[in-house]
Each structure stands twice: as structure tokens, then as C-alpha cells.
A = this chain, B = another copy of it.
Amino acid sequence: MGSMATVGEVGERRLIELMMEILTPMPEQPIPPWDDVSGLRLEDGRLAVLKTDMLVWRTDVPRGMTPFQAARKVVVMNFSDLASKGVKPLAFLASIGIPRDMEVEAVLEMTRGFDSGSREYGAYMVGGDTNEAGEVIVGGVAFGLADERKIMRRSGARPGDILATTGGFGKTAAAFKVLLEGYEAPRDILKPILDSVYMPRARVREGLALAETGAVSASMDSSDGLAMSLHDLSRSSHVGFRVERLPASPEAEEFGEALGIGLEELVFYGGEEYELVFTLKPELVETARRALRGVGCEMIEMGEATKEIQITYVEDGRKKTIKPLGWNHFKAIE
């Protein structure tokens, strides 16, 4: 890396690595710095858990999405990270940048989105901050509490653990093809596909149910896409993954077939999906399945963790490598 390299040249992942080398680590940090959230010990065995994330209107909000939806999605993005650790979100703070010429009504719509998104998950918007900016920035902070013993980190997967997820993938990749590349979705699936981007859900009840079982050895959300999630879990847990069943949503299957797009591409290389991707101790797979059923979620087993640090998809006996590609704010990795 040259000393005058730009952020676009090095990419977001490398940038974060370089930033983390600078930070003075907090002693006895209960959640490692590469995980989805930050945690602080409260002396009584609980953790205070924090997450902050933003949408930049110009780059992150596709056409057709309303201010209400964008604000609600920022809540979902932040709560999803807490959910993936098994942490109940309690409060949300908004942090927004607003151009002077923005209509007040649009800001109020955003506020309704923050409020509605928070209430959807039993939390409250308790504060925030507004700032004049040249472009619209929709940011926020999630706060939650959790029993430290129940936290599901990224780092505990062992070879032989079962790889699973809370739902099917591929709708957001299809939506981006419609919204950004001009593809036309079959009429009957257009709405669910677009809604996957406009009105995503955070798997909060699912994360809390899983955390209670003690079955999960590692977990994260899939906001950077399934391929990136597997690579991130691999890096934190020092295992590989062999995917044997593609966790595809029915809409992605229909979209792929109708438009001649490989299902693999839609499922692995999407992003802005908020399913939980996790590994299970083999003897507790049924416990996890029952816990998820209890909150109305049908778990999908997709493969297993391997000793060999390699992430592959095995289809009809043929082994393909899953690349660390996906949603990246600055550039594709590799």
C-alpha cells in the first residue's frame, strides 16, 4: 500500500484492519473487536452491547424506497447485529445528516420509521442528533443488554459443527438486479423481492431463542451477504465450511429460473440480508430447530464446519470455491 493510497483503492476490509491496528485495546473486552457488536461488562454478569451503522442516501438507498423505510431499515440493520449475538435490543438513538433544503415532512417520515422500527422489536427510540449535511445520512445506534454466558460470538465454530441459517437467501440480490440493473421480475414475486430491500426484518426473536439453547457455537448476521458471512465466520473461528444445500428462498429460485441467472450467484453474493448464519453443536441441532420453531422460524441446515480452512459449495459432487465477494462499500475484495 502506498502512503497516498485512497480508501477506494484499499477497500473497506483492509481499511478496517489498518484502523484496528491503531486502537488501544480495551482490557478484557468480552466481545472481540472483529465481531458484529461491541460489549462492556456490567459487573453483574451482564453485558451492555452497542452497535452503530448508517445508510448514506446517495449510495445506499435505491429508487422507490421512502424516508420511512430507510429509517426503519437503519433500525433493522443495527438490531440485526444485536440479534445475531443473542442480545435483546432495548433502545435506539438516531443520528441524521440533513441538507437545509430537505422537506421537514421527509424528516418526520424518517422519525416515524425510527419509532416504528424500534417498537416492532419491543425497543424505544430514546434520543438522537440532527446535523446539517450536504447529503442525507441516516445513522443510528442500538443498545441492548445480555447475559455474557449466552452471547453468541463469531469465534466458537468447531470442525464438524452444523452450519445453518434462519431463512432463505437471494431476494435482495434479485431486488438489486431489478432496481440497479434493469431486470424485470415476474409479476407475482416483484413485491416480495422489492420488500426484501425496502422492509427487511431483523431476526431478533430468533436470535434470542437460539441464545437460550446453548446450541450455537458461532453466529453472525448476513448483512454483507452469505458468502462474506461464511468468510467472516471462517476467519473468526479458524474453520472452513462445506455448503451442501443452497439455502435459497422460493422467490430467488423463481427469479433465477425466469431470467436465467444462476441461483448460486443470487444466494451467495447478495447482501443487506438479515438472516442469522450460525453453527450448531451436532448433538444440539434438534434443540435449536425446536427453539426456532417456537418463534415461527424453520431452520435451514446448509452444511458443516470443516478443519480445512476453505469455503466450498458442493453441488452434485462437484466442489466449487465460494469467494469473499459481496456487499462492500469501497470495492470488491480480491
Contacts and interface: CB of A to CB of B under 8 A. Distances in A.
Interface in A116-154: 118-119, 124-135, 137, 139, 141, 143, 145
Given A18-B108, A107-B15, A141-B50, A102 B25 contact: no
A3 interface: yes
Contacts of A40: 90-91, 126, 143
A101 B7 contact: yes
B133 A59 contact: yes
A124 B25 contact: yes
A119 B23 CA distance: 10
Contact of A93 (B24, B52, B59): B52
Nearest to A27: B124
Interface size range on A against B: 35 or more
Contacts of A114: 23
A132 B91 contact: no
Nearest to A94: B52
A139 to B, nearest CB: 6
Nearest to A59: B132
A104 interface: yes
A240 to B, nearest CB: 27
A135 to B, nearest CB: 5
Contact of A97 (B23, B125, B128, B137): B137
A180 interface: no
Contacts of A334: none
A103 interface: yes
A112 interface: yes
A119 B26 CA distance: 10
A124 B56 contact: no
A105 interface: yes
A130 B38 contact: no
A19 to B, nearest CB: 4
A58 interface: yes
Interface in A32-85: 33, 37-40, 42, 44, 46, 48, 50-56, 58-60
Nearest to A12: B130
B93 A126 contact: no
Nearest to A36: B127
A56 B330 contact: no
Contacts of A58: 133-134
A98 interface: yes
Contact of A126 (B29, B90, B91): B29
